[in-house]
Amino acid sequence: MLDNKAQIRTIEAFLAISVMFSALALTLQMPSTPDFEKQRQLKKLGTQILMQLDFNGTLGKLIEDANWTSLRANLDLFLPSGILYNLTVYDENLQRVNTQEVCNSNQQGVAAVVVQYLCVIQSADTHFYTIQLRLAWLE
């Protein structure tokens, strides 16, 4: 009778230990907190760059001319080193406008911030474009 009780308690103890260690292992694998401060900075930088490009109409002209190579070259010159970007332009009907990728790297698996910017082009008829700029720190 006593032997049976001891065996059950030993099994209980092993079960408890395995449950607790599983819990510990799970917490260890919890993703670390993202650096919100850096992401906020990135978002502000992205907005400021798009604004600066838009001040004299360069941004609108590059979109209207579908000059995606120049748009990419501008972003390469404006952004500090170590920043990944991917820019997508949508028209009024939220259809993607850029036929070429405007990016410097694949951002898959990287925590990115998204900057949305509305670009208005005043010509004979006004055009609206929504620009989505995804930015991430190179890790």
Partner 1 sequence: MPASSIDTFLACSIMITLVLAAMVNTSNNLRPSMNEILHTSDAERFQQLALYLLLNKGTPVNWGSLRDVVPSNLGLADSSSSLPYQLNIDKVTRLNSQNIYSLSYSQLWQSFGVSDVSFKVDVKTLFNLSTTLVSTTSEVNETTYQFDVYAEKFGAPVLARLSSYVVVQDYVNNLVSSTSADGHTSISASVPNSKNGTAILLTFAKAESNPQIEAFNVYPFSHNSSEPLPNRTFTRQSPLNHVLNVTFTYPSVEVLRTFVLTYKCNFSLIEKSRNAQTAEYDIPRLLDSSPMMLVITGFNQSSTFAEWVSYPQVPVEIGAEFEELDTGAKAVSFSHIVGINSALYEIVTTWGGPTQDA
| Residue with smaller CB distance to partner 1, 125 or 139 | 139
Site string for partner 1, 14-43 (x = CB under 8 A): --xx--xx-xx--xx-x-xx-xxx--xx--
Tokens coding 110: 């990287």
94 binding partner 1? (CB under 8 A): no
| Residue with smaller CB distance to partner 1, 1 or 124 | 1
Cα 46 from Cα 135, distance rounded (Å): 7
Which one-letter DSSP state was computed for residue 109?
A: T
Which one-letter DSSP state was computed for residue 36?
A: H
Site string for partner 1, 96-125 (x = CB under 8 A): ------------------------------
Cα 44 from Cα 37, distance rounded (Å): 11
Q: Please provide the distance, in angstroms rounded to a whole number, between the alpha carbons at the two ends of the chain.
A: 61
| Residue with smaller CB distance to partner 1, 44 or 92 | 44
